[in-house]
A and B are shown apart, each in its own frame.
Chain A
Amino acid sequence: MSAPSDTVSAGSARTTRLVIYTLLLVLAAIYLLPLYVMLTTSFKSLAEIRGGDMLALPRDPSLDSWFKAWGEACIGVTCEGIKGYFWNSIKMVVPAVLISTVLGALNGYVLTKWRFPGHKLVFGLMLFACFIPFQAVLIPMARVLGIFGMANTTSGLVFVHVVYGLGFTTLFFRNYYEAFPDELIKAAMMDGAGFFKIFWRILLPSSGPIIVVTVIYQFTNIWNDFLFGVSFSSGAESPMTVALNNLVSSSTGVKEYNVDMAAAVFAALPTLFVYIVAGRYFVRGLMAGAVKG
Chain B
Amino acid sequence: MSFLEIKNLSKKIGNNEVLKNINIELEKGGFLVLVGPSGCGKSTLLNAVAGLMPLTSGEIIVDGQVINDLHPSKRDIAMVFQSYALYPNMTVEENIGFALEMRGVEKAERAEAIRNVAKVLQIEHLLDRRPSQLSGGQRQRVAMGRALVRQPRVFLFDEPLSNLDAKLRVEMRAEIKSLHHNTDATIIYVTHDQIEAMTLATKIVVLKEGAIQQVGTPAEIYNRPANLFVADFMGSPAMNMLKGKIVSTSGVRQISIFDGSAVVAIPSSVTTDLVEGREVILGLRPEGITDSGLVDPTADAIARIDADVVLVEPTGSDTFVTARLQGTTFTARVRADVTIAPKERFTFVFNLDKAVVFDPTSGERLL
Contact = CB atoms under 8 A, between A and B. Distances in A.
B67 to A, nearest CB: 13
Interface string B78-92: 110111011111100
A188 B87 contact: yes
B326 interface: no
B105 to A, nearest CB: 10
Contacts of A206: 88-89
- Count chain A CB atoms within 10 A of each CB in B50, B52, B102 and give the residue with the most: B102
A184 B99 CA distance: 13
A181 B52 CA distance: 14
Interface in A175-202: 181, 183-184, 186-193, 197, 201-202
Contacts of B72: 186, 189-190
Interface in B65-101: 71-74, 77-79, 81-83, 85-90, 98-99
Interface string B148-167: 00100000000000000000
Contacts of B146: 187, 191
A190 B78 CA distance: 7
B85 to A, nearest CB: 4
Say what secondary structure dominates the interface of chain A.
helix
B125 interface: no
Contacts of A205: 89
Contacts of B102: 191-193, 197
Contact of B87 (A184, A186, A190, A192): A184
A202 B87 contact: yes
A201 B51 CA distance: 21
Given A189-B73, A191-B102, A183 B50 contact: no
- Count chain A CB atoms within 10 A of each CB in B71, B74, B98, B146 and give the residue with the most: B98
B89 A190 contact: no
Nearest to A203: B89
A201 B82 CA distance: 21
Contacts of A186: 47, 50, 52, 72, 79, 81, 85
Interface residues of A, number: 16
A286 to B, nearest CB: 20
A159 B30 CA distance: 59
B73 A181 contact: no
B88 A190 contact: no
Interface residues of B, number: 26
A193 B101 CA distance: 9
A65 B346 CA distance: 100
Nearest to B102: A192
A189 B98 contact: no
A186 B49 CA distance: 13
Contacts of B52: 186, 189-190
Nearest to B77: A190
A192 B102 CA distance: 6
A192 B73 contact: yes
A192 B103 contact: yes
Interface in B29-65: 47, 50-52
Contacts of A183: 81-83, 85
Contacts of B98: 188, 191, 193, 201
Contacts of A192: 73-74, 99, 102-103
A184 B86 CA distance: 7
A182 to B, nearest CB: 9
Nearest to B78: A190
A176 to B, nearest CB: 14
Contacts of A197: 102
Interface in B133-155: 146, 150
Contacts of B51: 190
Interface in A118-163: none
A133 B47 CA distance: 46
A181 B85 contact: yes
A197 B88 CA distance: 15
A276 B78 CA distance: 46
Contacts of A187: 79, 81, 85, 87, 146
B249 to A, nearest CB: 60
Interface in A191-234: 191-193, 197, 201-202, 205-206
Nearest to A184: B85
Nearest to A189: B72
B79 A190 contact: yes
A187 B52 CA distance: 10
A197 B73 CA distance: 13
A123 to B, nearest CB: 20
A201 B73 contact: no
Contacts of A184: 85-88
18 contacts: A181-B83, A183-B82, A184-B85, A186-B79, A186-B85, A187-B85, A188-B87, A188-B98, A189-B52, A189-B71, A189-B72, A190-B52, A190-B77, A192-B74, A193-B102, A201-B87, A201-B90, A202-B89
Given A186-B47, A205-B89, 12 more contacts: A184-B87, A184-B88, A186-B79, A186-B85, A187-B79, A187-B85, A190-B77, A191-B102, A191-B146, A191-B150, A193-B98, A201-B98
Question: What are the 4 A-B residue pairs with the smallest beta carbon separation, nearest first?
Answer: A205-B89, A192-B73, A192-B102, A191-B99
